[in-house]
Structure 1
Amino acid sequence: MDSTLLKGLRVLEELMRSPAPRRARELSDQLQLTRSNVHRTLQTLIAAGYVRAAAGSGYEPTLKVAELAGLVTSRLDVRRRAHGPIRQLARTSGQTTHLATLEGSEVVFLDQAEGTDPVRVRPVIGGRAPASCVASGKALLSRADAAQVVEVLDVGLAARTSASITDPEVLARDLARARDTGCAVSSGEWRYDLAGIAAVVLDAAGRAIAAVGLSGPVDVVLDRETEFREAVLATARRVSCDMGSTGYTLATESDGYGPMEKENIR
């Protein structure tokens, strides 16, 4: 067990629970840690952006903790709010649908619903897939900041099939297309026989916190791509609105490519 990490968490928790800034001496007495230990821990937390020196004296937590807590809360809430809509999407499309979120270079499946098509894919709840190989991952990467995309590239683009994207420039074009059209598409990149379509879910702050995805046999999904795009976007919009988003934009041009007319959803 890492005692240094535990000390840091104890100090941070004490500051979070305190209604006012705390001095190092007070923290030392409260937590029964040496003053030098508390000072070193506070400097580390300041360097990491979790704590700052308060005006006057003492130390207080920054909003970074609240921001991270908000992301976790949103992730838990979005699963509850998307549970019904992705099941409705599975029923109407006949394909397997899922809700996924981005963690590092992978997507994590938060929920899934099976369709009625005889050929089905069953993503395991809690299971993972390379973000660059699946539509939900590419949808989320298309709205991610540069640091997250760099993290994916640093890990290396996974080659699960011969169709997997392994060239960063090709991935960049795919992500740009997903941003322009509102949907990301994968075809045989994770499993050679499967294709997928996905769109992001936005929270009240406009952050892409998850993606609604649909997957099925390549020939079925690509033959009905326009229909499935509209259905996936409508589902993502519905969940986003339920999460408090007021600025979800949908691509309205039927072919899904080229210059896009945007519709603001209020």
Structure 2
Amino acid sequence: MDSTLIKGLTVLEHLAGSEAPRGVSDLARSLDLTKSNVHRTLQTLVAAGYARATPAGTYECTLKLFELASSVLARIDVRQVAEPFMRALAERTQETIHLSLLDKADVIYLHKIESPHPVRAYSSIGGRAPAYCVASGKALLAYQEEALAHLPEVLQVHTSRTIPSLDLLRRELEQVRIQGFAINRGEWREGVCGLAAIVHDAMGRPGAAIGISGPADRLNPAALRRYSDVVVDVARSLSRTLGYNPITLSSHHAPRAAQGPAPSGATAEFA
């Protein structure tokens, strides 16, 4: 592993995540690096066009990161295709809508539409959350179980409702596959609940999740039950628009011998 490259990327990530420019000493303390090491790294980032020095002697990111991110986003068709579905869901529920992807044990918010209510769930595009604590993350984990390898047996507890162990999480993910949607009962932030369903791409891969989030007094158990069919229907429609056809995929992968009934959970997304 190239430690110099890792240090450079770490400095760049800290600059990108900072609301204000950062100084050499400040970054050195935050990253537990020497000031000379941080200074050399910053000079390299400036020379490469990823950072610039301010008149105050601090450093900030340039728009080169945005240009790179925009190129990546342009290749992710699901964001553009999902926009009208997200707007329809927002109109129907009046809550914040998220389109999320899974990155190891975290979800990343790829796109969002804000609720019109003054009290609403707050998040940012590009922001992260622990997947086992939020509805979209649990929906994705239910169909991408290999990501559970990134989680410890004892899970970090964020609220009184956080799932505390990997064993209990596996049980809930089984229920997600059966019912076709996942619920966040205030497991990441106190008083913020959500509901999400998986989105499949044309190859049948569970590439994203779409869902709603909002304050617990609006997204109470009755409201979550009421919206569950709505969210699943939107996820199903978005999947079809992306080219997903479970019947065609099933026929392609089915054995040629006499075929019995589908295994339990095979069509759990639409249960």
* TM-score (normalizing by structure 1): 0.64
Distance in 1 (CA, whole Å) between partners of 2:191 and 2:178 is 26
Task: Tell me what 2:253 maps to.
Answer: none
> Where does residue 220 of structure 1 map in the other structure?
218
Distance 1:129 1:206, change over 3 A: same
| 1:83, distance to aligned residue in structure 2 (A) | 1.4
Kept in 2: contact 1:75–1:209 (CA 8 A): no
Change (3 A) 1:158 1:87: farther
Distance 1:160 1:75, change over 3 A: farther
Question: Aligned equivalents of 1:75 and 1:176: distance in 2?
Answer: 32
Structure 1 position 88, deviation (Å): 1.4
Tell me the CA shift for residue 75 of structure 1: 7.1
Q: 1:1-266 to 2 correspondence within 5 Å?
A: 2=2, 76-145=76-145, 147-153=146-152, 157-221=155-219, 222-247=221-246
Counterpart of 1:217 in structure 2: which amino acid?
A: P
Q: CA shift at 1:118, angstroms? A: 3.4
Aligned length in residues? 187
Unmatched tracts of structure 2, length 5 or more? 6-71, 248-263
> 2:268, 2:138 → 1: CA distance?
22
Identity %: 39
Alpha-carbon RMSD: 2.9
SS of structure 1 residue aligned to 2:97: strand
Kept in 1: contact 2:98–2:212 (CA 8 A): yes
Aligned partner of 1:229: which letter?
A: S
Contact 2:198 2:269 in 1 (8 A): no
Give the distance between the partners of 2:73 and 2:98, measured in 1 at CA: 19
Offset of residue 162 of structure 1: 1.7
- Distance in 2 (CA, whole Å) between partners of 1:75 and 1:246 is 22
Gaps of 5+ in 1: 6-71, 249-258
